[in-house]
Structure 1
């Protein structure tokens, strides 16, 4: 190039290549320790540490690939081989392990509850003892209430192992005893029928929640309003039944309660899935199991009021609320 020739433009200088390294434009100041092309002073950099215009002075590119950029993970993103991005698989694996842990704990809780209900239903001396001594039921109520509030309201005991499992085990035993006490007032056939219907309802709701696009987690306000309505109906029902037994009112209350807690079961199930508007942390496996367990037990109790007839409603009184 002669001195009269004008220097090449920046775009033209960018097109000059030597191997895989672009040259800087003429007149660009050479930097110490930077390879600037043949005939230019400089030192060859180490492999993988190319430095030059438009590049960060490290191995990190100026823009990270979109599939590993924090905050934009999506289950629909896949790499060239058709496999989801690493972050997506990590998230899915953690969520799946969380769901398995919750349902394993729930299965143990339901087994304990079913065993206690069977003892209170089939062993006649135990059944008579529970019916004749309702004070034991009310003595277990404070334990139920304290453990429930600790697990729901206190994050420390709920997440600290093994105290969270110990509290959950105490809560399960207490609620199982209370549920067995209520079942002892009903016929054996009614108890079995309520158990069967509860199992069918829980299976259908679980499958539906994993398949449907309906988001129950966005209906928190509606569920709270239904709880208030159920509470008012329960108070009226308890007052009326304390004076005179009205079968249709008793069944109406049981049906309303079963519907409300079925919706709660769908709500808490979708909280576990993690792909809805609201979700719970994978660390909250105790809270997840507790929520599902309480919903299932409540559905069973309300169905029990529909399928069976109590031998003495004045004795059980406020057991309608449990």
Structure 2
């Protein structure tokens, strides 16, 4: 950019065929008002991804989209739980649930694995909206099998846990992003509990095993919520690029929904 400016200046002063002068050194280009080019340093400072203002805008954008997702999710869960005709319909049409599973995995893999669609407006928001609606339907269908008191209780617990984890992540000096070992151990524990549940449950319901699975899963996604929140903040060992606001929103939203699902398994009571 600086070399181009010098070329235009030389052409204007010495004629069309004049050779451009030598480009300035880095010190000359960034020394500001002492004869350098303040515009270069200003642009580098203004558009740096480490700029606090850009990080602040990034966080606001992520939480604005997240609030819309959570509002839609709570509305659909309430509809599927309190409205008896809707509840009976989703319970008697499991094909729609499995179809939403397919849509969920398709949009999730697209947003996570493909940087192009994830960063291309408005397709990134369209894919995120489809992803959110499919997961809302799955969560609402799951909630319809529990009584209303259990669902309301778990929504309240989820909201309180998310608030506490968010405040902790913003205020604490503990770097959760560096705790890969703990997250890996929790992930393996959840994975093996799921395998045991898949093998044992068809032969009979085991309440204590179901409770253990729910507790391990809730703890795991609580830690992951803190991990993703600190990645969003960007002031720890690892940070998320402000370009990835769709990925950041998707990650935190998934953590909250899975936390709610595991809390339902712990505190939820089936309908009579």
Q: TM-score range by the shorter chain?
A: 0.7 to 0.9
Name the residue aligned to 1:251: 211
CA gap 1:248/1:94 in 2 versus in 1, 3 angstroms: same
Structure 1's unaligned 5+ residue stretches are 1-56, 66-84, 313-322
What per-residue deviation string (whole Å, max 9, x for no partner) do you get for residues 104-157 of structure 1?
Answer: 000000011111101100110111111122121111111100100011111000
CA gap 1:158/1:221 in 2 versus in 1, 3 angstroms: farther
User: Given the alignment of the two structures, is residue 157 of structure 1 paired with residue 123 of structure 2, yes or no?
Assistant: no
Name the residue aligned to 2:184: 224
113, 130, 148: which one aligns with 1:188: 148
Name the residue aligned to 2:74: 114
- Residue 310 of structure 1 and its aligned partner are, at CA, apart by 3.2
Q: Distance in 2 between matches of 1:89 and 1:140?
A: 37
What per-residue deviation string (whole Å, max 9, x for no partner) do you get for residues 69-117 of structure 1?
Answer: xxxxxxxxxxxxxxxx978998000000000000000000001111110
- Residue 264 of structure 1 and its aligned partner are, at CA, apart by 0.3
- Structure 1 runs (4+) deviating above 4 angstroms are 60-65, 85-90
215, 220, 223: which one aligns with 1:260: 220
Bigger relative CO (Cα 8 Å, ≥ 6 apart):
2
SS, match of residue 261 in structure 1:
helix
274, 299, 302: which one aligns with 2:262: 302
- Residue 309 of structure 1 and its aligned partner are, at CA, apart by 2.6
Q: State how many pairs are aligned.
A: 237
Name the residue aligned to 2:165: 205
Q: Distance in 2 between matches of 1:297 and 1:253?
A: 16
- Residue 226 of structure 1 and its aligned partner are, at CA, apart by 1.8
Structure 2's unaligned 5+ residue stretches are 1-23, 33-44
User: Given the alignment of the two structures, is residue 95 of structure 1 paired with residue 55 of structure 2, yes or no?
Assistant: yes
Instruction: Kindly report the root-mean-square deviation, in angstroms, between the aligned alpha carbons of the 2 structures.
Output: 2.3
Q: Normalized per residue, which structure has more helix?
A: 2
SS, match of residue 275 in structure 1:
coil
TM-score (norm 1): 0.69
Q: Distance in 1 between matches of 2:255 and 2:58?
A: 19
85, 88, 92: which one aligns with 1:125: 85
Larger radius of gyration: 1
- Residue 199 of structure 1 and its aligned partner are, at CA, apart by 0.1
TM-score (norm 2): 0.81
- Residue 222 of structure 1 and its aligned partner are, at CA, apart by 3.1
